[in-house]
Amino acid sequence: MAQDPYATLGVSRGATEKDVKSAYRKLAKQLHPDYNKDNPKATERFSEVTRAYDLLCDKDKRARFDRGEIDMDGNPIGFGGGNGGGGFGGGQRGFRPEDFAHGGGAGPEGVDIGDIFEGLFGGRGGGFGGGGFGGRAAAKGANRAYRLAVSLPDAAMGANQRITLADGKTIDVKLPKGVEEGMQIRLAGKGEPGPGGAGDAIITIVMTPHPFFRREGDDILIDVPLSLDEAVNGAKVRVPTVDSAVMLTVAPGSSSGKTLRLKGKGFTRKDGSRGDQMVSLAIVLPEGDADLVKRLEGWRDPRDLRARFGG
């Protein structure tokens, strides 16, 4: 029985693209092979869920499925599309087994049907169903799901990634511009083999945490520590970026929480432009520094820094 991608994802036929994506993400987290290594049924279900999502997130394929032109795997359903008439696979009649029961493989008008099949399929009696008249086109192999962990700097720069497929082959994958967590990359013909050709490899991007970079939209955030003297007197400090380190000028009298912008040092957008890197300053005082305590002895800041709080 043909599978229904809507039922597989648990959404209605009127579901929006957002609904489809939300349903897929929820199921993918539950069923992903990495978390179900001892549950082959979960892995099989994950593959079905991924195939359903691949179809429904493609507007053209979804429309064709809704019209009954293709099945859940994107394979065309029969020939003639049910337009009626006596054509091959038509909705009215087409060829029937009893038409060929007149001895020697002759049709109702004495035509040798075996000769027709021999010319079309390279052998006699090409058969009905499978790849023959009135049946579906040969099915492609199943898609295979992969999970690719990508570091924040690599994602920001769109660096090529290396992945090993189920057949043991290692290939380079080019990250698309504007890559995000959960984005999928399709590698045509890298899935399971099948009579109609190999399926596809569906690679889901997983962003790995970074020790000091954070992402906010297309911008990259980082907290940079300052010593007290650097904050008071100003300084040039070395700041890492996803490209390479840069020297950043800190003005005298800078306070913790002050944010400086490094333009064009953020994530690469789909149009090729880049976001910015936001540098937040954080003054770090030394612990147990007797000399500092002595130097500040008797000094008090005359400002009321908390006056705005009232009371």
Q: Look over the chain and give the mean of its residue pLDDT values, rounded to a whole number.
A: 81
CA distance 116 to 138: 20
Phi and psi, residue 134, nearest 5°:
80, -5
Q: Which residues contact 60 (CB under 8 A, 6 or more apart)?
A: none
Stronger pLDDT, 1 or 259, i.e. the higher one: 259
What is the predicted pLDDT for the residue at 98? Answer: 39
What is the predicted pLDDT for the residue at 311? Answer: 58
What is the predicted pLDDT for the residue at 54? Answer: 86
DSSP state, residue 267:
P
CATH architecture of the region 140-209: Sandwich (2.60)
Residues 188-208: tens digit of each pLDDT: 999 998 888 899 999 999 999
CATH placement of domain 214-296: 2.60.260.20
Q: Are strands 246-250 and 235-239 parallel, antiparallel or unpaired?
A: antiparallel
Same fold, 140-209 and 214-296: yes
Rounded average pLDDT over 50-75: 86
Residues 270-299: tens digit of each pLDDT: 999 999 999 999 999 998 899 998 988 998
DSSP state, residue 78:
S
Q: Give me the residue spans of the domains in the chain.
A: 140-209, 214-296
Model confidence at 93: pLDDT above 70: no
What is the predicted pLDDT for the residue at 194? Answer: 86
Residues 244-270: tens digit of each pLDDT: 999 999 999 999 999 999 999 999 999
Q: Which residue type sits at 189? A: G
Stronger pLDDT, 171 or 108, i.e. the higher one: 171
Q: How much is the pTM?
A: 0.55
Residues 97-152: tens digit of each pLDDT: 333 344 444 444 444 434 433 443 444 344 434 444 444 567 888 999 999 999 99
What is the predicted pLDDT for the residue at 148? Answer: 94
Stronger pLDDT, 268 or 72, i.e. the higher one: 268
CB atoms inside a 10 Å sphere around CB 205: 20
Model confidence at 217: pLDDT above 50: yes
Model confidence at 41: pLDDT above 90: no
CB atoms inside a 10 Å sphere around CB 40: 10
CA distance 144 to 55: 15
What is the predicted pLDDT for the residue at 116? Answer: 36
Q: Is the dihedral of CA 295, 299, 303, 306 positive or negative?
A: positive
2 confidence band (pLDDT: 50, 70, 90): low
CA-closest candidate to residue 200, choices 119, 139, 140, 131: 140
Question: What does each C-alpha distance from 101 to 106, 107, 108, 116 come to in angstroms?
Answer: 7, 7, 9, 16
What is the predicted pLDDT for the residue at 218? Answer: 95
Model confidence at 170: pLDDT above 90: yes
Rounded average pLDDT over 225-244: 95
What is the predicted pLDDT for the residue at 234? Answer: 96
